[in-house]
Chains A and B, each alone.
Chain A
Amino acid sequence: MITFDNVTKSYGTNIGIQDVTVKIEKGGFVFLVGPSGSGKSTFVKLILKELTPDKGSIKLNDLEVNRLSNRQIPKLRRSTGIVFQDFRLLPQKTVFENVAFAMEIVHMSQRAIRRQVPQVLNLVGISSKATKYPNELSAGEQQRVAIARAIINSPALLIADEPTGNLDPDTAWEIMRLLEQINHRGTTILMVTHAKDIVDKMEKRVIAIDKGRIVRDDANGCYGAYEDEKLPGFLQMGGVFNNNAE
């Protein structure tokens, strides 16, 4: 699905990621964890070709991402669903229109839109809010809309960039269950997160990045020592302890 081969990307003297080689299988559910500034965002941006690597190659299925021209970027992004921490819904469009928009840009007919959008809204559990505007929804509902938009074109890959970052624990779990459900339908999911308890409980593959390098890649991992870089050192001890106990 996704293959990084010796990828390096730096910003001037700052390192984004360095010599990253990793493979994510089709149908997988992968957590990408690490402290702020560790290179998680760079990783995601490279997949979406928002950034171009200095070195190495990135492949998405058979697509050589780093060789795509600017004109081909929209095509790449359509084959990938993206969910953000801040939802990024279009504020002047209703829930229905927000989801329909993703279909309009791939030139789907109005009939297909009228048929598929309600199905997906139903899947994510917000069909009753179809005519509401994003600011009339709770955070959890907005994230559901964002997920609906991300999966409406049945992408092979769904990238979730801290999707639970703005949500309370209960809502966060609802979203996780939804993502898991989508994963079961065959969509590969790459989730960037800081949520230790979620990562620990889900028992999925965990790729940990620090200072631009992959420091850990466990098939059924837990969050590890990177739970919160803002905490003073002695509090992080717990995390280290946790990691050692593994």
Chain B
Amino acid sequence: MLNSWKCAFKQAFKQAFRNRAMSVASMFSITAMLLILGLFFILVVNVNMVSETAKKQFDTIQVFLLDETTYEESSVMLADLKRMDGVSEATYQTAKEAMDKWKVKWGDNAYLLDGLEDENPLPNSLIIKVSELEKADATVTRLKTYDGIEDIKYYKDTVDQLLKITGFIQVGAMIVILFLVIVSVIVVSNTIKLTVLAREREISIMKYVGATNWFIRGPFLIEGILIGIVSALVSVGIISFIYYKITELIGPEIFIMLSTTMVPVEFLIIRLVWIFLALGISIGACGSIVSMRRFLDT
């Protein structure tokens, strides 16, 4: 068994080398596919990241209380809210605390708020964090039944819009990726079919001598997988380089402005390596099995 694997590997290397032109051709096509695929993958990952950040930023519901609402009344509300499904945190914020936060936020310009401290225009409020954005609606509906609330503020429409866009991009990218995978299987199987065709006679001789189908298929399969692995590594290299250059080019300032970041290069490379290796190997393997089928029918 070990012996025959060794033999198959030896064969595969020899074969790939003897059919250099073909091997390089299939490598180019798989690499090209993986590159396009990788760009879409980067897009999806970053869009994901943006939507996650957005969800985090907008997972807060602010409830402004009427001035006449007592602390006791609001405590009841809080207790009730904390029992609700989808609420991860609910706190009471006094008008003074709110003012302090503003001051911190405004930093150097905080002196502008100085005169307002005695007659604080800010209301007392409840700050509710929802664990799942999708449940924010239910929470808000519940809040509306309480008395003593002046206003409820949350960014549902904005988030909805954002999620709609990101969802659309994700689905679109997935379709493109699926399509590309299919195309690359076809391209690779065609390339391998050519090498098989060139060796049709050889295969028929092998069958006459009594080689099993797997014995014949083995080297082709390994050849396909090898080509897949090399293409995967090459494309990961290229993509990482491009991505690194892009993040460098955009620079940190723009990200701060947009209050989001891009997925870090290292994070991406580790995932890309695995995904591409899996894809490359399966594309190579499927390609060779599909293309051999016709020749091995007995």
Residue B4 at the A interface, CB < 8 A? yes
Q: Which residues of B contact A73 (CB under 8 A)?
A: 298
Residue B210 at the A interface, CB < 8 A? yes
Residue B207 at the A interface, CB < 8 A? yes
A109 touches B3 (CB 8 A): yes
Complex formed: what's the CA distance from A80 to B209 in Å? 8
Interface residues of A in 86-136 (CB under 8 A from B): 88-92, 101-102, 104-107, 109-110
Place the interface of chain B in its size category.
10 to 19
Q: Which residues of B contact A107 (CB under 8 A)?
A: 1, 3-4
Q: Which residues of A contact B208 (CB under 8 A)?
A: 48, 77, 82, 88
Residue B212 at the A interface, CB < 8 A? yes
Complex formed: what's the CA distance from A226 to B262 in Å? 84
A92 touches B212 (CB 8 A): no
Complex formed: what's the CA distance from A73 to B210 in Å? 7
B61 nearest CB across to chain A (Å): 67
Residue interface bits B201-219, CB-to-A below 8 A is 1, else 0: 1100111111111010000
Residue B105 at the A interface, CB < 8 A? no
Q: Which residues of B contact A79 (CB under 8 A)?
A: 210
Complex formed: what's the CA distance from A83 to B4 in Å? 25
A77 touches B207 (CB 8 A): yes
Residue A194 at the B interface, CB < 8 A? no
Residue B18 at the A interface, CB < 8 A? yes
The count of A-to-B residue pairs whose CB atoms sit within 8 angstroms is: 51
The residue in chain A whose Cβ has the minimal distance to the Cβ of B213 is: A74
Residue interface bits B235-259, CB-to-A below 8 A is 1, else 0: 0000000000000000000000000
Complex formed: what's the CA distance from A76 to B207 in Å? 11
Question: Which of A90, A101, A105 contacts B212, CB < 8 Å?
Answer: A105
Residue A40 at the B interface, CB < 8 A? no
Question: Which of A71, A105, A109, A110 contacts B210, CB < 8 Å?
Answer: A105
Q: Which residues of B contact A149 (CB under 8 A)?
A: 209
Residue interface bits B256-298, CB-to-A below 8 A is 1, else 0: 0000000000000000000000000000000000000000001
Question: Which of A77, A109, A110 contacts B209, CB < 8 Å?
Answer: A77
Residue interface bits A133-154, CB-to-B below 8 A is 1, else 0: 0000000000000000100000
Q: Which residues of A contact B4 (CB under 8 A)?
A: 104, 107
Q: Which residues of A contact B3 (CB under 8 A)?
A: 107, 109-110
Q: Which residues of A contact B205 (CB under 8 A)?
A: 88-90
> What 8 A-B pairs are tightest by C-beta distance, nearest first?
A78-B210, A77-B210, A105-B211, A74-B212, A74-B210, A88-B205, A70-B298, A102-B209
Known: A75-B210, A101-B206. 8 other contacts (CB 8 A): A70-B298, A71-B212, A74-B213, A74-B215, A88-B205, A88-B208, A105-B215, A110-B3
